Structure 1
Amino acid sequence: MQNPSGNDLTRPAAVLPKVERQRLHDTVVDHLRKFIVEGVLSPGMKLNERELCETLGISRTPLREAFKVLAAEGLIEISPNRGASVSRMTEAEVWETFELMSGLEAFSGELACERITPAELAEIKALHYSMLACRVQNDLPGYYSRNQEIHDRINEAARNTALRQTYQGINRRLKALRFRSNHQTDKWDRAVHDHEDMIKALEARDGKLLGAILKRHLLEKRDAIMQIHPDPVGDPPAHND
């Protein structure tokens, strides 16, 4: 089929620009997320479009499109007069979001123990051993990426679409804080021990145990973050735990 200008609309080349543009869009979003998680772009920092375009080798159009995605995820804030900046969570928001996430992780663990396949368990164990190797090498970014992949695989193994969508949305806001919680050696080692217990509970298909480990794990991360959270606004809500 040809359009009035004589171009063949059935040729694959006709759709390539859209594919490339989408790939660029996803890549820019992924890079900016990584910068935020690893603290290259810190909470409250104003985002300099010119510098980011130079760093990423892109024009302002894909950068601004990426900003919109990250704003929808709650990772950045866009002001008509002040531009974009990295979102900063208050103490109360940190407290409440980790509290919610601990419940989501616990429920994921319970369901995963019922539904995980041997192949999925083997993949999680491989990630665990790779994570331990990163710990030995003091490779925090490598350790963190594998750590988060393990948590994500457990959630995925729960096979509950509504749970997964909620989990992913909440976890995006916490990734930078979860990354920072391992900067202290004792907290890092404690997290490694928790992950070893998680693997054992998964192997035993003990959902109650895994759920309890995951909930405690997240609440301990929350408590570690509350000790180092920058520029807190307000007080955490009253609690009894």
Structure 2
Amino acid sequence: MADPPADEAFTMPPTRREAVLRRIRTEIVTGVLPPGTVLKDAEVAARLGVSITPVREAIAQLAAEGLIDIAPNRSRRVTQVTQKNALELIDVMAVLACAGFEWGVPNLTPSHLQRMRVRLDEFVANLRAGNLPAASAAGADFSTIVILASGNRELQTHVDLVVARTLRLIATSAGDDIWQVWVTGYRETLELLEADRPADAVARYRQIYVEYRALVETMLFRPPGC
């Protein structure tokens, strides 16, 4: 297992629970905690310098997100990614995100488009710098701006439940071809929105998930040596 980030880099957001949740989620998404890793409350608490309570709360949330499996004997392990659950996850994420995107597009303003441009630039810059957590966050925000414009908070709640798992899958399958699907797709989608071609933009956004699913199916799960 890769060494965890230095504890001195662990900065506290408003609550300890949120701090622990963000930290463990990031470690799972980036592969610092690979699939199958056993998580013990006391060990995680000692490493992060917090009490056991926020650790337990964070692990419960991550289990709800599908990032951690809790066995009948209460042992906790980072979830394994199989071809079946990976493709199912992409399908669910596509349905939710594309619905929110389509509903949000009619409500977009020039300010929304400017914010999307900023997040796209940050996405590309962080990819070039090798900062995958920051790149993933910027990429997710690109879509979130549009989904929130739909005004459907319930939909955003459901998107949030699967987005971390999707980011983990992207990180697991990360390669130039995988990332290029999102970079090109986002760029062309935004250009269509800026050209006042909303229907074409929605269609291009949907195509991102089609292309990504095909790549994950053929690249992430192909036999070694192929």
TM range (shorter): 0.7 to 0.9
What is the RMSD of the two structures over their aligned residues, measured on CA atoms? 2.6
Is 1:224–2:215 an aligned residue pair?
Answer: yes
Measured in 1, the distance between the counterparts of 2:221 and 2:60 equals: 25
Measured in 2, the distance between the counterparts of 1:206 and 1:117 equals: 14
Give the letter aligned to residue 184 of structure 2.
Answer: H
The verdict on how the C-alpha distance between 1:72 and 1:143 changes in structure 2, with shifts beyond 3 A counting, is closer
Q: CA deviation at 1:22?
A: 7.1
User: What's the TM-score once normalised by structure 1's chain length?
Assistant: 0.77
Q: How does 1:29-178 map to 2 (within 5 A)?
A: 29-81=21-73, 83-178=75-170
Q: Are the aligned partners of 1:155 and 1:164 in contact in 2 as well (CA < 8 Å)?
A: yes
Q: CA deviation at 1:228?
A: 4.7
User: What's the TM-score once normalised by structure 2's chain length?
Assistant: 0.81
1:83-119 Cα offsets, whole Å, 9 max, x none, are: 1111224322222221232232222222222011222
Q: How many pairs does the alignment contain? A: 212
Measured in 2, the distance between the counterparts of 1:21 and 1:215 equals: 34
Measured in 2, the distance between the counterparts of 1:133 and 1:229 equals: 24
Measured in 2, the distance between the counterparts of 1:114 and 1:205 equals: 10
Match of 1:198 among 186, 189, 194: 189
The verdict on how the C-alpha distance between 1:171 and 1:139 changes in structure 2, with shifts beyond 3 A counting, is closer
Secondary structure class of the residue paired with 2:39: coil
Secondary structure class of the residue paired with 1:40: coil
1:154-199 Cα offsets, whole Å, 9 max, x none, are: 2212222232222222323322002334x21233233211111021
Q: CA deviation at 1:24?
A: 0.6
The verdict on how the C-alpha distance between 1:188 and 1:88 changes in structure 2, with shifts beyond 3 A counting, is same
Q: Are the aligned partners of 2:100 and 2:150 in contact in 1 as well (CA < 8 Å)?
A: yes
Secondary structure class of the residue paired with 2:32: coil
- Which has the higher mean CA deviation after the structures are superposed, 112-121 or 129-138? 129-138
Measured in 2, the distance between the counterparts of 1:106 and 1:65 equals: 31
Q: How does 1:4-23 map to 2 (within 5 A)?
A: 23=15
Structure-1 residue corresponding to 2:3 = none
Structure-2 residue corresponding to 1:15 = none
